[in-house]
Amino acid sequence: MLRFALIGAGRIGAVHGASIAAHPGASLALVADPDLEAAGRLASRFGAHATADVTDVYTAGDVDAVIVGSPTPLHVEHLTAAVAAGKAVLVEKPVDLDIARVDACIAAVGQDARRVMVGFNRRFDPAFAEVRARSGEVGPVEQVTIISRDPAPPPAQYVASSGGLFRDMAIHDLDMARFLVGEIASVHAVGQRVGTVPEPDVDGAVTTLVAESGAVVTIVNSRHCATGYDQRLEVFGALGSLEVGNVRATTVRHHGATTSAATGPYLDFFLERCATAYARELDHFVTAITAGEAPSPTLADGRAALELADAATLSAATGETVRLRSSAPMEKETV
Amino acid sequence: MLRFALIGAGRIGAVHGASIAAHPGASLALVADPDLEAAGRLASRFGAHATADVTDVYTAGDVDAVIVGSPTPLHVEHLTAAVAAGKAVLVEKPVDLDIARVDACIAAVGQDARRVMVGFNRRFDPAFAEVRARSGEVGPVEQVTIISRDPAPPPAQYVASSGGLFRDMAIHDLDMARFLVGEIASVHAVGQRVGTVPEPDVDGAVTTLVAESGAVVTIVNSRHCATGYDQRLEVFGALGSLEVGNVRATTVRHHGATTSAATGPYLDFFLERCATAYARELDHFVTAITAGEAPSPTLADGRAALELADAATLSAATGETVRLRSSAPMEKETV
Amino acid sequence: MLRFALIGAGRIGAVHGASIAAHPGASLALVADPDLEAAGRLASRFGAHATADVTDVYTAGDVDAVIVGSPTPLHVEHLTAAVAAGKAVLVEKPVDLDIARVDACIAAVGQDARRVMVGFNRRFDPAFAEVRARSGEVGPVEQVTIISRDPAPPPAQYVASSGGLFRDMAIHDLDMARFLVGEIASVHAVGQRVGTVPEPDVDGAVTTLVAESGAVVTIVNSRHCATGYDQRLEVFGALGSLEVGNVRATTVRHHGATTSAATGPYLDFFLERCATAYARELDHFVTAITAGEAPSPTLADGRAALELADAATLSAATGETVRLRSSAPMEKETV
Amino acid sequence: MLRFALIGAGRIGAVHGASIAAHPGASLALVADPDLEAAGRLASRFGAHATADVTDVYTAGDVDAVIVGSPTPLHVEHLTAAVAAGKAVLVEKPVDLDIARVDACIAAVGQDARRVMVGFNRRFDPAFAEVRARSGEVGPVEQVTIISRDPAPPPAQYVASSGGLFRDMAIHDLDMARFLVGEIASVHAVGQRVGTVPEPDVDGAVTTLVAESGAVVTIVNSRHCATGYDQRLEVFGALGSLEVGNVRATTVRHHGATTSAATGPYLDFFLERCATAYARELDHFVTAITAGEAPSPTLADGRAALELADAATLSAATGETVRLRSSAPMEKETV
């Protein structure tokens, strides 16, 4: 039984709390949040204790593992302290918006990185995971096309400190690219402004990645989509292709006088679409940590996605293709 | 080169005329219709002669084959005379509405039935034909479900002399049942009245057929369908199923705020959906006759479908299941 | 907080136990099963007590509501005793296989039927419920087509006492027919034997129902389906149709050299497909009982479905259409 | 009645010959090809004369319009001569591979460009045309995604003189981009080599176009696709999206033990998929010329697509984004 503490009692904390409660090999012991009332509400739902003092997490004797769901600028501090206290850590992405701080974190954590996992939950989406598992059916992957659109833009204040579209949104798709085709050799991006978020951020983008394998990955992003959370992906090779479509609430189709086969809109936001992914992500973490194995995606994966987001941000600003320095000698993800 | 005469210059005559013109092994020589102007219009489009006197068809030296597209009550007369004159004949369905007259026709034609084909064009629809050709993939057929709806009811005057829904519309589906599972042992039907056609005809029906093989066939009919010409079919066996869906004008799908994946309505009427089927039907007839082989579906198939329509009509009136006498020793279709 | 006892610690008991645990307004207090070990295993998963003596359920002071998941022949006894003890009851379908016993049960329960709900879980499937809620979009319902196939036949010993396909399997579809078009005026059924279950039961059937409204409902059943749990439905009227398709584990589609758009098989059995339905069913029961309102489907709905199953069984044996006596003056379902 | 001459008796000539024969307002008078036997074979199928001397086309009194289907290097010569002889001209794309020669051609033709149409047949595909016609339904177009793959690479000798993937294949998609979002401001392209065609050509590419309107267009190309001719497109805006899917020979879907909903592969090559498009293209040309109006796409459209292909070729070689000079003051297409 892996005993968890949650740092952060917000929306994502509640999702992880429910996953822990439903997992036969996990239990929730502690919820830490400066907003003690929020921490208490969440803790009571799952029979855990609450604290406003995050250091209680590091010293708690009944806590084996920590989920870091605090605001992004605090991720590195909380992650480093929890690891130093001997805990296993599942940290929400991004590790940090500043790649220098991520590098410092990786250096500080050292070999203990084996106890750290970065929450790229989309790798655990049943459909995306199925495509990776079956990708051999298409032969060596030649082309990947990802369409990834949010239903609606985030609040202006979020965008102000999010690092921009490539770091707050496309980063999931950049990680998915590495998940499917491995290391990336060059990045080109185009950003577009439609006006749904304040300048200088963009609300649409097309990013083209060339992998070291020769595969080309295209990512089309938008901050808004009237039909819902638009998450599609296609992997293409000489033998065929595998395609992930959108998810609807039901299979009902309407046939009327002017249209046929009309289904409902896509599920509306990532917590709905990703509920299963979060539960599977937690299960992977619990299973790996319990078995003494390193979970994945790793801190190195977290750094690599941020490096791609930085490159895309630069390319969108300059119009130039950014060639990545040969990959640093870090462990690669192995899911 | 098979030289054709058309009896009947109506809508179906025009379809056959175009198929003949497009066929490299066929040519149109003569169009006969009491309405000489209509005959002339059609003939001139395809470089043929026109006549108001149907007997010209039988005596024409440059006519090898005749397509009988006259009103149903005249089918037997025109078919019998053309066969007697040595012509090959493709007769529109139904052969006649009175099974006694069909039996007399079969007796009169005798061995020359080898030169006669009945126009159950739906057997030549590429999708339905594919299902039959691949039906072994599902194992022995256990269940067939046919949904067959017209976009709109026929004119009242047509219904008055059509023999009713089972003989004028379901007959295509009854033939399809035999095409897919062979001879039928019993028939049960329920008719329903919605009010789109004059009494005593029905505008909806569900017919259940038990085949000699043990397969059960369900046919759901309606005389109206807001979304267009609704023609679906499913063949089910122990290994799986094969399904025919509806046809749209294009593959365009619309995704908006309240619905997704909405396509256009189904193609609107049988001439659109069946254009390919008519061309393939003609090709089969031309190929068989040219090779001296018997085309199919045969006169016996035409009789069998009418027998099923009669049984369904009776069952709908009485609520009883109609057991068919053991099939007469007639040749079975061999497409 | 509605406190539950479960009678029966089998598969369905476990499903309900999990639904209760996940429901914020429900808790599980007691599990009763003659197999005390099974009861204990289930109870311990959800923090409840266990007993081998079903009478403990009736006398327990901390039990407000009882879920009757015992074998069918015990349903009436357990239901009647629990109601007499003042409990609310959710009884699995069928209430009983003998309509005379059901009538006696209804008489015994009397006005307390307001506290009894019959577990036709399929009414709570999100897709089927959506179709009913939106059925006005098609105009007055004219035709309903239900295709309902199990992945594999039940064990021979189950079939021996199940009452046969119409009572153990089609009864869900017969209830769905009433759910969608109201009371039924006549029933015709055809059974077919493929050999997957022992005689005299059938393993396939087509049932045709004519509703008092004039709507015609067709139900196609099979006890086996290679592709999984095949549950489709279509409601058709003058303005269009609404269709429920099958559910797959993911949206992944494969495109290869010989086929395209191939998805995975349907979800494999009813517990997977129906997980949401069971949770929604429980929620309706908890909400209604907590509010002092009568839940639905009612005992009368349970009786009506059994009456249709009896009629279908008779029709399949005789080939005759069974006309139902005018409906008894029982309350109608009102979901 | 518009009387046609065909220059070129190859595959595309045969397609146009059939379209002319089927068109009520067109007739075929003459086929010119240095291979007189090929010209004769084609001419005799449609009742036309044949010649090995292309100058007969210009002097023929019974020829109003010329379809230039000769090898690309001869397009400009044949087009210019035919226009000078007073004929209307439908020229296959590309006009030429050298933009300087195209400019010279445009200058030579002058105002007679009103009688010239360039054969971007894909604009006349019913689905693509429907998307353009309905594009207002999505609001101002923000993003267009085009996936365009050939079933198999062309012969090596074709590739040697084709100008490369961007000029021989992507040019259709580049024209489609302009068709959907208007003039293009910048081009970025990535080419990839998989080894299906000889160097230095590429067999895959991703091209990103930024339109003057701010819309971003992504084009994913491959020279091979196991599943057939893969032609999809999606137009996205604030209100929703419109999507064009692939076309199959029939609607048959197979459901088996391991997969469900499997359809056949996509139609295999462009002549199949585009048969309707060619007929509609010819109809537009006949209608416009007969009415004395300028057909579209124009010579200027042909030049613009080549300019984009040149830019993409350059970008793929350098990795740099190519900014286009502000559009020349040529007429824009107006279909």
Angstrom distance (rounded) from CA B166 to CA B162 = 9
In the predicted structure, residue C22 carries a pLDDT above the cut 90:
no
List the structure tokens of A148: 């990834």
Residue D193 in contact with partner chain A when CB distance is under 8 A: yes
Amino acid in position D120: F
Closest approach of chain D CAs to the CA of B100, in angstroms?
38
Mean pLDDT value of segment C315-328: 82
Residue D139 has pLDDT above 80, yes or no: yes
Facing A246 at nearest CB: one of C131, C137, C251: C251
What distances in angstroms separate CA A227 from CA A267, B251, B258, D238, one per listed residue?
Answer: 9, 19, 7, 10
Residue numbers of B between 307 and 326 with CB closer than 8 Å to C: 319-321
Model confidence at D46: pLDDT above 90: no
Q: Which two three-digit tokens encode residue A238?
A: 């000489």
- Give the confidence band of D76 by pLDDT, cuts at 50, 70, 90: very high
Confidence band of C273 (pLDDT split at 50, 70, 90): low
Which residues from chain D sit within 8 angstroms of residue C260, using beta carbons? 227-228, 246, 248, 262-266
Specify the pLDDT at position B309: 97
For the domain covering D123-323, report its CATH number. Answer: 3.30.360.10
Confidence tier at A272 by pLDDT (50, 70, 90) = low
Residue A142 binned pLDDT confidence (cut-offs 50, 70, 90): very high
Residues 76-115 (C) with a CB less than 8 A from some CB of B: none
How many Å lie between the alpha carbon of D323 and the closest alpha carbon of chain A?
Answer: 10
Half-sphere exposure of B181 (CA within 13 A, CB side): 28
Q: Tell me the mean pLDDT in the region A289-300.
A: 97
Residue with the bigger pLDDT between C45 and A80: it is: A80
Which pLDDT does position B185 carry in this prediction?
97
Mutate to test the interface with A, among C23, C135, C252, C266 (most CBs of A within 10 A): C252
CB B133 within 8 A of CB B179: no
Confidence of residue D273 (pLDDT cuts 50, 70, 90): low
Exposure pattern of C297-324 as b/e (b: 16+ CB <10 Å)? bbbbbbbbbbbbbbbbbebbeebebbeb
Q: Is the dihedral of CA D310, D311, D312, D313 positive or negative?
A: positive
Q: Which residues contact A224 (CB under 8 A, 6 or more apart)?
A: A149, A150, A151, A152, A153, A194, A196, A203, D238
Q: What is the mean pLDDT of residues C52-72?
A: 97
- Which strand ranges, in their side-by-side order, compose the sheet holding D322-323? B253-255, D240-244, D230-237, D141-149, D216-222, D204-211, D184-192, D322-323
Q: Which residue of A has its CA nearest to B264?
A: A259
High-pLDDT (> 90) share of chain C, %:
86
Q: Which of residues 250-289 of C touch A (CB under 8 A)?
A: 250-257
CATH of domain B2-92: 3.40.50.720
C254 and D256 within 8 Å at the Cβ level: the answer is: no
Answer yes or no: same fold for A2-92 and A123-323. no
Highest mean pLDDT among A325-334, C85-94, D272-281: C85-94
Residue D256's Cβ-count burial label (10 Å; 0-12, 13-18, 19+) is: middle
Tell me the three state secondary structure of residue B296: coil
Residue from C257, B247, B269 nearest D126 by CA: B247
Subunits that touch chain C (at least 3 Cβ pairs < 8 angstroms)?
A, B, D
**What integer pLDDT is reported at residue A331 of this predicted model?**
37
Q: Which residue has the higher pLDDT, D330 or D182?
A: D182
Q: Name chain B contacts of D131, Cβ cutoff 8 Å.
A: 252
CB contact under 8 A, A248 and B260: yes
Given a cut of 90, is residue B330 above it in pLDDT? no
Contact C260, D246 (CB under 8 A): yes
The confidence score (pLDDT) of residue C334 equals: 36
pLDDT above 50 for A196: yes
Of the candidates B259, B264, B266, the beta carbon closest to that of A264 is on B259
Nearest residue in D to B258, CA atom: D240
Task: Establish if B216 touches chain C: CB-CB under 8 angstroms.
Answer: yes
| Contact across the interface for C257 and A240, Cβ inside 8 Å | yes
Quote the strand ranges of chain A, DSSP E. Answer: 2-7, 26-32, 49-51, 65-68, 88-92, 116-119, 141-149, 184-192, 204-211, 216-222, 230-237, 240-244, 253-255, 322-323
Give residue D326's pLDDT band: very low, low, confident or very high (50, 70, 90). Answer: low
| pLDDT-above-70 percentage for chain B | 95
Residues of B in contact with A246 (CB under 8 A): 260
> Encoding tokens for residue B171?
């007959």
> Which helix (H) or strand (E) is B44 found in, with range?
helix B36-45
One-character DSSP codes across A202-236: -SEEEEEEEETTS-EEEEEEES--TTS-EEEEEEE
Contact criterion met (CB below 8 Å) for D154 and D162:
yes
Q: Do D253 and B240 touch (CB under 8 A)?
A: no
Say if the Cβ atoms of B127 and D246 lie within 8 Å: no
Q: What average pLDDT does this structure show over B284-292? A: 97
Q: What local confidence, expressed as pLDDT, does residue A14 receive?
A: 87
- pLDDT score of B254: 97
- D-facing residues of A in 144-163 (CB < 8 A) are 145, 147, 149
Partners for B (CB, 8 Å, 3+ pairs)? A, C, D
Number of CB atoms found within 10 A of residue B187's CB? 28
Q: Which among B246, B260, B263 is the nearest to A227, CB-wise?
A: B260
What is the rounded distance in angstroms from the CA atom of residue D189 to the CA atom of residue D205?
A: 7
pLDDT band at A332 (very low <50, low <70, confident <90, very high): very low
- State the pLDDT at residue A23: 85
CB C307 within 8 A of CB C326: no
The continuous run of DSSP H or E covering B280 comes out as helix B275-290
SS3 at position B236:
strand
Pairing state of beta strands C240-244 and C184-192? Answer: unpaired
Q: What is the pLDDT of residue C18?
A: 83
From A324-333, D55-64, D79-88, the region with the lowest mean pLDDT: A324-333
Of C210, C218, C240, the CB nearest to B226: C240
Indicate whether D128 pLDDT > 60. yes
| Most B CBs within 10 Å, among A259, A266, A267, to test the B interface | A259
Say yes or no for a CB contact (<8 Å) between A252 and C137.
no
C224 touches chain B (CB under 8 A): yes
Query: Residue range D206-219: average pLDDT?
Result: 97
Is B249 touching D (CB cutoff 8 A)? yes
Q: Mean pLDDT, chain C, as a whole number?
A: 93
Distance CA A136, CA A141 (A): 8
Q: Would you state the pLDDT for residue B327?
A: 47
pLDDT for B28: 94
The residue behind tokens 């220059």 is D7
Separation CA B31–CA B25 (nearest Å): 18
> Smallest Cα–Cα separation from D311: which of D323, D300, D302?
D323
Chain C residues inside the 8 Å CB shell of A180: none
Q: What is the pLDDT of residue D208?
A: 98
Whether residue A248 lies within 8 A of chain D, CB to CB, comes out as: no
- Report whether B84 contacts B57 (CB < 8 A): no
Most confident by average pLDDT, C23-27, C158-162, D70-74: D70-74
Cβ-based neighbour number of residue A268 at 10 Å: 14
The mean per-residue pLDDT over the stretch A126-143 comes to 97
The tokens describing B316, both together, are 């709908």
Number of residues that this document lists for chain B: 335
H or E, element range at C218: strand C216-222
pLDDT of residue D259: 96
A215, two tokens: 């595969």
| Record: contact B244-D251, CB cut-off 8 A | yes
**Which pLDDT does position A327 carry in this prediction?**
47
Query: Exposure of B39 by Cβ count < 10 A (0-12 exposed, 13-18 middle, 19+ buried)?
Result: buried
List the one residue out of D56, D173, D67 whose CA is nearest residue D120.
Answer: D173
Residue boundaries of the structural domains of chain D: 2-92, 123-323
Least confident of A199-203, B133-137, C84-88, D232-236: A199-203
Interface residue C185 vs chain B (CB under 8 A): no
Distance CA(A190)–CA(A202), nearest Å, equals: 10
* Rounded average pLDDT over A293-306: 97
Which residues on neighbouring strands pair with residue B323, listed in sequence order? Answer: B186
Distance CA C282, CA C4 (A): 11
Q: Which amino acid is at A39?
A: A
Size of the C and D interface in Cβ pairs below 8 Å: 61
Helices (H) and strands (E) in chain C, counts: 12, 14
SS3 annotation, chain D: CEEEEEECCCHHHHHHHHHHHHCCCEEEEEEECCCHHHHHHHHHHCCCEEECCCHHHHHCCCCCEEEECCCHHHHHHHHHHHHHCCCEEEEECCCCCCHHHHHHHHHHHHHHHHHEEEECHHHHCHHHHHHHHCHHHHCCEEEEEEEEECCCCCCHHHHHHHCCHHHHCHHHHHHHHHHHHCCEEEEEEEEECCCCCCCCCCCEEEEEEEECCCCEEEEEEECCCCCCCEEEEEEEECCEEEEECCCECCCCEEECCCCECEECCECCCHHHHCHHHHHHHHHHHHHHHHCCCCCCCCHHHHHHHHHHHHHHHHHHHHCECEECCCCCCCCCCCC
Mean pLDDT of B293-316: 97
pLDDT at D272 over 70: no
D213 — contact with chain A (CB < 8 Å)? no
Average pLDDT on B196-211 reads: 95
How many helices and strands, by DSSP H and E, does chain A display? 12, 14
Residue of B192, B278, B318, B204 lying closest to B18 (CA atoms): B278
Instruction: Please check the confidence at residue D329 and state whether its pLDDT lies above 80.
Output: no
On the question of pLDDT at D174 being above 90, the answer is yes
* Nearest residue to D32 via CA among D19, D59, D24, D18: D59
State yes or no: pLDDT of C109 exceeds 90. Answer: yes
Contact B250 D127 (CB under 8 A): yes
Residue D335: is its pLDDT beyond 60?
no
Contact (CB<8Å) B192/C216 = yes
B22 to chain D, closest Cα gap in Å? 9
Q: Residue D286 has what pLDDT?
A: 97
Paired tokens of C114? 């307001």
Query: Which carries the bigger pLDDT value, residue D326 or residue B90?
Result: B90
Q: Give the one of B192, B204, B218 whose C-beta lies nearest to C206's C-beta.
A: B218
- Mention every residue, 6+ apart, whose C-beta is less than 8 A from residue C100: none
pLDDT at A335: 35
Strands A230-237 and A141-149: antiparallel
Instruction: Encode pLDDT of B48-80 as tens digits.
Output: 999 999 999 999 999 999 999 999 999 999 999
pLDDT, residue C332, reads 36
Number of CB pairs < 8 Å for B and D? 73
